[in-house]
Amino acid sequence: MKNPIALLAALLLAGCASPPSPPTAPLSDVPPLVMQKAKKEKQTWIDSAWHGAGQVVVGRLRRQDPADSTPIVARTKVRDDGWFAAALHPSRKLSFRAHGCEPLDLAPSGTQPIVRLPDAILKRVPPAETAGIRGRIICPGQSPTATVKLVVAPAPLLWEDSGYESAARFTALVASQQVPAGGEFAFSGLSPIEYELHISAPGCITLKRTVVPDRRAHLSLGDIELIPAPLLVFDYVAQFKTLAQARSFPERHQAIECNGTNRFRFTNERDELGNALFLRLTPGTDLDAARVAAAQPPAPAYAPATPVPAPGQVRADFWFSPAPIYDLGKISLVEIIASANDALLRPAPHAPDHVILQPGHTYFFECTNKNANCLFSVNPAK
């Protein structure tokens, strides 16, 4: 009979051992273009940006039903034949999401910089396991109908920031319903994944609600009340070199319904990549501003906290990157231009990149790396 103490020790060691890593597959069957992308991802992220950390995962995604054409949401591009290659920051997983399907998360194993994962299968959720949601829309008097869209939310991140590949499908529309004021909406067949509800109506702020249903759940969201969107008039001059030059520029006007999707596009010029130049306009909602602000992650010491607009207020910022917006106070656009004093445009050494727009105030926005600027005043529409 074997020594019982030695046998017990062996069992304890076996219990403490690390669980086996998921299997990997050889790289020999990877299509050349996919392998080329994997090597480029390695050079860009692992070798350069992450200084040797992370891994590139390569694999092929198959559907349980080959005839299924449900859009797949992922942070990496999935080719028509199912192949993909994506760089993952340490501790991240590669996630695939689709309406009516089980959530699928893949993680690399081993220490190789490029890992070929076994083929993955995106499975349908059994009908008895799917969920449903419903709610009632309360619209202001001027909005007889609302549009409710159900959207598959973005998949989890590939790396630390909001990064995703530009060719990836970021979200997917599941269904859209027209709902009369006071009417109900309902969606069924939901997976246990994150969805977004986008609720809009003419003259109202577009609301977004995140929903993560459990299996077999039938959620009632109750009454969802829409809020009238502030209507602001922007008087502006843009893309000038000096105020003296701006005198010869035509003063333009825009009345913008600040519903959360409209934006202040102050010029038809575009940047070097062909992107439009505009300021985002974020209206305050019925959420308590102080509570929302407290839920935000703390801002770095060198950066001011992002202000949260209260109901009736609108926050403005540049869509592309942080860029200063100087609040010049209650002075008219005409007075600033007539002064021809460029020092008035920058009344302080620094300015925030987000501002809560104040009626009657004039602002100067400047983004030097995009060669974009705009002098504008803002007032409520009469």
Closest CA to 331 of 281, 372, 264, 376: 376
Give 1-12 pLDDT, tens digit per residue. Answer: 445 445 444 544
Task: Count how many residues are written for the chain.
Answer: 382
* Predicted pLDDT of residue 14: 47
Give 28-84 pLDDT, tens digit per residue. Answer: 889 999 999 999 999 999 999 999 999 999 999 999 998 999 999 999 999 999 999
* Predicted pLDDT of residue 287: 54
Domains and CATH numbers, the chain: 22-122 (2.60.40), 127-225 (2.60.40.10), 231-294+305-380 (no CATH)
- Which regions of the chain are under pLDDT 70? 1-24, 162-163, 286-305
Task: Measure the CA–CA gap between 324 and 318, rounded to whole angstroms.
Answer: 9
* Predicted pLDDT of residue 329: 96
* Predicted pLDDT of residue 304: 56
* Predicted pLDDT of residue 24: 64
User: What is the 3 state secondary structure string of the chain?
Assistant: CCCHHHHHHHHHHHHHCCCCCCCCCCCCCCCHHHHHHHHHHHHHHHHHHCCCCCEEEEEEEEECCCCCCCCCEECCCCCCCCEEEEEECCCCCEEEECCCECCEEECCCCCCCEEECCCEEECECCHHHCEEEEEEEECCCCCCEEEEEEEECCCCCCCCCCCCCCCCCCCEEEEEEEEECCCEEEEEEECCCCEEEEEECCCECCEEEEECCCCCCEEEEEEEECCECCEEEEEEEECCCCHHHHCCCCCEEEEEECCCCCEECCCCCECCCCCECCEEEEEECCCCHHHHHHHCCCCCCCCCCCCCCCECCEEEEECCCCCCEEEEECCCHHHHHHHCCHHHHCCCCCCCCEEECCCCCEEEEEEHHHCEEEEEEEEECC
